[in-house]
Chains A and B, each alone.
Chain A
């Protein structure tokens, strides 16, 4: 540690200092070591920090100041839907009757929680146009895998064991092909055309009797609505495949279109995106899955149902894909999403998408003069710019992203989707004001000008952050993944 390094909590530790308040031992002491047996009594104590409560609070407060969240400033990270996280949701999730209940309590004692879960399932089914919803998956990728396992079970129960391929567009999020592999499929890529949409001819080429499913986000990761969706659904369905909807971009179409009506068979949602679950620095999320009636028998166990006015779990599901997670999903995140849906109602949710789409189109049109716009058409909730023009001046998209840090903005998603050169993917969300958008746009235009007039300023950015660019090569070549006390 050098003088200018920010200390680790371990470096603040002093032997015998304490930060806890445990109950007294009020039962007669027993010889624990004898009961456990010598081999199993720990000799090398884990070296946890020894600090007082104020030291802990100061440490983490200082760390929080070294972090940027939605509450700190604009966070237009494309495909992540970094919208405002309502404070009321946090209060509801912390109500004792929701936060301190045990998953193995008799169902009669948790009817309030089950009512909420049931109602949330129904709401999500209505929003997506699906017949049944499970709240079990812990996050989006977990939902993808769950959905694909159901598609696999469906084909296998039809005696169809040759459907080994899952088709994903070249613009797809990396979790799609990864989930396909984890579910035991082979991922096959379908190309996008010059419109930025799935190339129908290429789709016809890759779809065959081995196709288990097509995974699609709609609008896609370029922020464009797949307007040929009906024909795509036909192509896949006629070949015996199924349609999987990745709900990452649902924020664009609430109340305007539903995956169920587009022909999708299985849908996952990211409650931490569209439905305001906080992103938490990388989770926890929640990834419910909705299906059409023909898939209901394959849903993961258990199923929440209502019997004679009582909410109960049904474990007797012989065709289920099994359990995907212990207990009943990320309940705490589901409570937040439910609170949000109840706050907005049908009218509010439709406005969410309307405003998210207006915001994105407004930004796109204001920025299109300074940056390349690979797909010049109305976008949905997000859009893609390319930094090709700036690259010719020696300024890369990465540099521009770093320069944005100097102005207190989290940059857009960069270098994704991978089918667009020097991509910048901007998703403003509906919770940002026009003033915020204008401020960001002005700065980005300023940066484009700097790229022309003073490229070093951008290339060497950031200039105002607490640390400068990190040596990522060293981090990967000589991995230091934990603190070790220097002797």
Chain B
């Protein structure tokens, strides 16, 4: 069998082994003790040639219902948006995707500058001073923010609204076990954080309050009121997780005094790809700049005074600080941050606002049509691009029927909340047309009858 990624010829091998001073390559493995040496053949499938493997995998991919074969109203943290063609063309430049972390600035100015631009865009969107080069995803970014708040305030309790993404809440619960932080869940009321409950739980042991804006139900959390409550404890921080697209139209958390803003930039040019890789972002205040997890790119000059960029404030990081590092993160999502940058640049100032507004308008239309068709909408109030509709049948049953008609229906909220059985979370993005929405509502009505 030929292996096209392996250039060593028999002649090369002979010459090289001779230079090394061994007869056979096995001698180079003689330090592996007999007792642990693997003798057989790895129990994996036999190799396949390029054409046949491509055919097999194309068939396998073809088995999946996808967001292009069906009309989707599924969101819940992962969204189907307009992706400009240019995004993939840029990230397919192999100087970007075959490089690693830009340790050598002289030959990595492209990547470093691209990250610097990404950091700037995230600061612009969130209204924060500082943003890092990316995190794995929105969920782990939020969990890192929680741990940062506990470390910074030296307090061991965080108040987390139950209106955040349920899987982010799960990830927080896992992440806090290390530093031993207690998570207190704050109820939601009418689809937003219960402010009375929040005020009740907030005390001098509180490191931070965590909310999502817009929240998991699509509702816009009252950040100004939440900030006022947080302010009653001097040290407590306000952490928000935000869909960055929504910030094209909504007042950014930074303007409400958020201490840390995180989220996922998947909405900008990154396909759903079954949940990952996406692109977490992490933004904060100048005060917390030296506590930020992950890579930061800073501007400086070279010996001739030319502007250039480097990885900076590295004393926070694991490769320098080892067990005293602010986080263990090393690889992040650089290529996806690049994709997000290209998408944000394509949209620009005008496009971002237009796209964000269109999400609200199309969702408003869906809501109106559903109501007209006799559906009850749960959690009435200001929303971004998601709404909750009450059904009389099980969501999974309705989704199965929708699937037969070419639709991917909404998220079954009953999976995560007993009280929300038969409630479906629907997302309407800018790419859904009026005709698609009308057809969907009609189908929903037909199923319901």
Contacts and interface: CB of A to CB of B under 8 A. Distances in A.
A471 B305 CA distance: 9
Nearest to A16: B350
B136 A139 contact: yes
Contacts of B130: 481-482
Contacts of A110: 64-65, 274
A416 B320 CA distance: 10
B252 A39 contact: no
Nearest to B44: A123
Contacts of B72: 102
A312 interface: no
A97 B25 contact: no
A2 B5 contact: no
B325 A35 contact: no
A61 B93 contact: yes
A358 B10 CA distance: 12
Contact of B364 (A32, A57, A253, A352): A32
Interface string A295-324: 000001100000000000000000001111
A51 B331 contact: no
Nearest to A353: B29
B98 A467 contact: no
A111 interface: yes
A230 interface: yes
A30 B58 CA distance: 43
B320 to A, nearest CB: 7
16 contacts: A6-B113, A19-B84, A20-B355, A22-B355, A37-B220, A40-B220, A50-B349, A98-B61, A145-B178, A282-B100, A345-B48, A378-B28, A470-B300, A475-B310, A476-B312, A480-B299
B32 interface: yes
A6 B109 contact: yes
Contacts of B78: 102-104, 327
Interface in A178-197: 178-184, 186-187
Contact of B351 (A22, A138, A182, A263): A22
Interface string B126-138: 0101110110111
A205 interface: no
Given A82-B100, A149-B178, A40 B250 contact: yes
B382 interface: yes
Contact of B167 (A19, A174, A327, A380): A327
Contact of A139 (B331, B349, B434): B331
Interface string A452-487: 000000000010011111111011100111110000
Contact of B224 (A39, A181, A281, A411): A39
Interface string B187-216: 000000000000000000000000000000
Contact of A230 (B27, B35, B249, B301): B35
Contact of A326 (B88, B139, B224, B314): B139
Nearest to B170: A323
Nearest to B41: A346
Interface in A9-39: 9-10, 13, 16-23, 25-30, 32, 35-37, 39
The 5 closest A-B pairs by CB, nearest first: A327-B275, A97-B61, A345-B47, A280-B335, A67-B110
Contacts of A51: 345, 348
Contacts of B353: 42, 45
A388 interface: no
Contacts of B358: 22-23, 25
B302 A471 contact: yes
Interface string B57-98: 110111111111100101011101010101011101111111
B63 A57 contact: no
Interface string A34-75: 011101111111111111010011011111111111111001
A472 B312 contact: yes
A468 B12 CA distance: 37
Contact of B277 (A63, A184, A330): A330
B287 interface: no
A342 to B, nearest CB: 6
**Could you say which interface size class chain B belongs to?**
35 or more
Chain A binding surface SS class: loop
Given A97-B63, A102-B74, A283-B134, A174 B322 contact: yes
A174 B315 CA distance: 12
A127 B220 CA distance: 48
Contacts of B57: 92, 95, 116, 339, 342
Given A69-B99, A467-B304, 12 more contacts: A9-B117, A27-B365, A32-B360, A44-B127, A50-B349, A102-B275, A142-B329, A225-B32, A279-B97, A325-B137, A342-B48, A416-B319
B171 interface: yes
B54 A378 contact: no
A141 B331 contact: yes
A327 to B, nearest CB: 3
Interface in A107-158: 109-113, 115-116, 119, 122-123, 126-127, 129, 138-142, 144-145, 149, 152
Interface string B263-278: 0000000011111110
B87 to A, nearest CB: 10
Contacts of B250: 36, 40-42
Contacts of B382: 35-37, 40
A163 interface: no
A83 B100 CA distance: 11
A278 B54 contact: no
Nearest to B264: A326
B275 A365 contact: no
A127 B430 CA distance: 45
A432 B101 contact: no
Contact of A23 (B48, B82, B301, B306): B82
A401 B104 CA distance: 9
B42 A127 contact: yes
Contacts of A100: 66-68, 80, 271-273
Contacts of B82: 21-23
